Amino acid sequence: MTALAQALPAAFYDRPVLDVSRDLIGCVVSCGGSAGVIVETEAYHHSEPACHAFVGLTPRTGVLFGPPGRAYVYRSYGIHACLNAVSEREGVGAAVLIRALEPISGIEPMRERRGLERLESLCSGPGKLTQALGITLDHNGSSLSKGPVLISEPPPSWREFSVTAGPRVGITKAAELPWRFCIAGNRFLSRPAR
């Protein structure tokens, strides 16, 4: 199913990060023979203190300021890799954190990588989904249009759904911004929509 889907072009990401974050809902992330539909995202922009790019251009944040359509993969709490889609024009530090997926293919490899059986637990968080798909820090800076991590257009069966916006989760700075987007009522979210 996902092999035939068209990968989103770099131009898709060359827009305001809030638009990209909302529009990624329903798209498909694939890597390592597994794939899932994006059901939850969060937007980050260098103008607000929760974004890694807020500190400016550093060796760590360089990818965030680079061309749109690249993967920004970082380690969270020294444990989990987190996948982000770099957005906006080059020179602007902005990205969309992929927070949760609904698994659609390659589910057995996901279960092996995660050591879990329960479908709802495989990709219901940013660290969970990278582990399930085999996404690592080695993917940092790679093209989301050419792979190995690909983000593709939504499958035909995922064209109609309701997207809600609310505060981001798991952060203390700029937590009030309504920059978290998710499919209302989806059972694969990292946390219920507020």
Q: What is the pLDDT along the chain (194 residues), one digit of tens a residue?
A: 344 578 999 999 999 999 999 999 999 999 999 999 999 999 999 888 787 888 877 888 889 999 999 999 998 766 789 999 999 999 999 999 999 999 999 999 999 999 999 999 999 999 999 999 999 999 999 999 999 999 999 988 887 889 999 988 888 888 888 999 999 889 999 987 66
d(CA 155, CA 142): 23
Map out the domains of the chain with their CATH numbers: 2-183 (3.10.300.10)
The pTM assigned to this predicted structure is: 0.93
The DSSP bridge pattern shows strands 163-166 and 94-105 to be unpaired
Q: Give tens-digit pLDDT for 90-124.
A: 999 999 999 999 999 999 999 999 999 999 999 99
In this structure, the number of other CB atoms found within 10 A of the CB of residue 90 comes to 11
The DSSP bridge pattern shows strands 180-183 and 71-76 to be unpaired
d(CA 71, CA 153): 16
Give the three-state DSSP class for 45.
strand
